[in-house]
Amino acid sequence: MTEPNRTLWTRRNLLKSSVAVSASAALPAWLKAGQLASGFRVNVTGTDSLRAHAVSRGLLYGAAVNPLLLDVDGLAAGSTADPYTQLVVSQANIVVAENAMKWSALRPTPGVFNFAPADRLLRFAALAGQRVRGHNLCWHEQLPDWFNTTATRDNARNLLVEHIQTVAGRYKGQLHSWDVVNEAVDPKDARPDGLRNSPWLGLIGPDYIELAFQTAAATDPGARLTYNDYGFELDTADQTAKRGYVMMLLRRLKARNIPIHAVGVQSHLKAEGPQPGVGLQTFIREVRKMGLDVYITELDVNTRGLEGGPEAQDYAVAQVYRNYLGLVLPEPNVPVALTWGITDAHTWLNESKDQWARREDGARQRPLPFDDDLQPVPAFAALRTAIDSSRPLVAAPAAAPAVDPNTLYKPFRVQGSPTTSTQSPLPPTPHVE
Ligand code: G3I
């Protein structure tokens, strides 16, 4: 594997933009010393990778990926030259499909499942020795077009149960965790329980959440079952209120003995404005008392509204990474952190046409640890430093083991799909000379 990810960080590069990064005059400790000395180059592979550093602290670090961009056959043959594939292999020890496991991706018609992209991710991760998160089994967004005309109060329970049994059943025993229910809380809908007026709530009632978790647990007892949500990281009035409703939901599930193991805190943060603080820290400690872990599931940093060029963005984004992960990763029940993408070349913030994702100067967003050219940016250093500061070493950082495809990838049995005849075939077992 080549080692392309060396870059030059100089004090001038980081600070030449005049901008609104008021703290830039006083550099934080994690960007001082050697890292900013002229000529310093950072190595990001092998024992210097995020992956190696995460393993050395007993953490999982990973990223959302698009399986169709991964050179799985090249990886299986031990000869991939694709830089994106190399980057994901070298940096992550857990991955999640950004879109490929959502209803709309899996179910083009009511009777047909398209598992090909999701299967591809499983095969990739097995080759790379990575864990996989499932995202997601029940959400109000990205439902297929046919859902609106097909789902009724009479069939919605069966539809949800059958979907979970088919999808979680297919990957049974293979996943680290499932986002079983995604984004079920929205105080703006003004219900006393804080739940969102989603299609699932309208068709089944509030107990759709219990039904989803119970079905997932019965189908894949080995997966860590997660409730995943956004917009409750800050100590603003809105987000504090939402955090309260999420806590109310968690207490309800625990009181009913519903199998749930973790809360996903998505962590789509902004460079400007209030930052997460004591409220989130208290929440993490409270859910620990309830026996729950917290996973950072979708971290990235939006710089809309922040003036200045790429260097200013990089500096501000890195500060958010360092402060945020410095707050949450030392908590003992936070063993997992994923960024929503790994390179700015593939991030929803650059793909979205929505105004809140677009920078006023028209520049591309730089929300992730690697830039458009797959080169590390200061957020990489911030992330790695936060990992290193989070907890004691459990092992010295070591390079990922060499991959033997024949020992890592094992085809799995297809379970219970109602559409066996239309399913895409399982990927072939890789053959290596
Ligand atoms: O696949 C179609 C393609 O065929 C079509 O040509 C194209 C035209 O716009 O659209 C493609 O689908 C898009 C899909 O991403 C794949 O690129 C959808 O329009 C677009 O809405 C979808 O956006 C995704 C969004 O979730 C909605 O599912 C983003 O990539 C994805 O990053 C985002 O992820 C969510 C998490 O699942 C939940 N938490 C928030 C997070 C960010 O919104």
pLDDT digits (tens, 9 = 90+) for 418-429: 333 333 333 333
The token duo for 222 is 């080995």
Residue 20 has what pLDDT?
31
Quote the ligand 1 centre to 347 CA distance (angstroms).
Answer: 10
The response to whether residue 141 sits with its C-beta less than 6 Å from ligand 1 reads yes
Atom of ligand 1 nearest to the CA of 341: 32
Ligand 1 pocket test: pick from 230, 348, 354, 365 the residue with the most ligand atoms within 8 Å of its Cβ: 348
Asked whether residue 8 is assigned to any structural domain, the reply reads no
Quote the ligand 1 centre to 105 CA distance (angstroms).
Answer: 10
Looking at the whole model, is its pTM more than 0.85?
yes
pLDDT tier for residue 89 given thresholds of 50, 70 and 90 = very high
Q: How many domains does the chain have?
A: 1
Asked whether residue 348 is assigned to any structural domain, the reply reads yes
Quote the ligand 1 centre to 357 CA distance (angstroms).
Answer: 13
Expressed as residue numbers, the domain containing 290 is 42-399
Asked whether residue 255 is assigned to any structural domain, the reply reads yes
Asked whether residue 27 is assigned to any structural domain, the reply reads no
**Rounded percentage of the chain residues whose pLDDT exceeds 90:** 81
Asked whether residue 327 is assigned to any structural domain, the reply reads yes
Query: pLDDT by residue (tens digit) across 223-267?
Result: 999 999 999 999 999 999 999 999 999 999 999 999 999 999 999
SS (H, E, C) the chain: CCCCCCEECCHHHHHCCCCCCHHHHCCCHHHCHHHHCCCCEECCCHHHCHHHHHHHCCCEEEEEECHHHCCHHHHHCCCCCCHHHHHHHHHCCEEEECCCCCHHHHCCECCECCCHHHHHHHHHHHHHCCEEEEECCCCCCCCCHHHHHHCCCCCHHHHHHHHHHHHHHHCCCCCCEEEEEECCECHHHCCCCCECCCHHHHHHCCCHHHHHHHHHHHHCCCCEEEEEECCCCCCCHHHHHHHHHHHHHHHHHHHCCCCCCEEEECCEEECCCCCCCHHHHHHHHHHHHCCCEEEEEEEEEECCCCCCCHHHHHHHHHHHHHHHHHHHCCCCCCCEEEECCCEHHHCHHHHCCCHHHCCCCCCCCCCCCECCCCCECHHHHHHHHHHHHHCCCCCCCCCCCCCCHHHHCCCCCCCCCCCHHHCCCCCCCCCCC
Phi/psi for 249 (5° steps) reads: -65, -45
Say yes or no to pLDDT of 41 above 70: no
Say yes or no to pLDDT of 74 above 80: yes
Asked whether residue 209 is assigned to any structural domain, the reply reads yes
Is 298 among the catalytic positions?
A: yes
The response to whether residue 266 sits with its C-beta less than 6 Å from ligand 1 reads yes
Asked whether residue 31 is assigned to any structural domain, the reply reads no
Catalytic annotation, pick one of 98, 210, 298, 311: 298
Is 272 among the catalytic positions?
A: no
Asked whether residue 406 is assigned to any structural domain, the reply reads no
Quote the ligand 1 centre to 99 CA distance (angstroms).
Answer: 6
Ligand 1 atom 34 nearest Cα: 98
pLDDT tier for residue 42 given thresholds of 50, 70 and 90 = confident
The CATH number that applies at residue 356 is 3.20.20.80
The response to whether residue 220 sits with its C-beta less than 6 Å from ligand 1 reads no
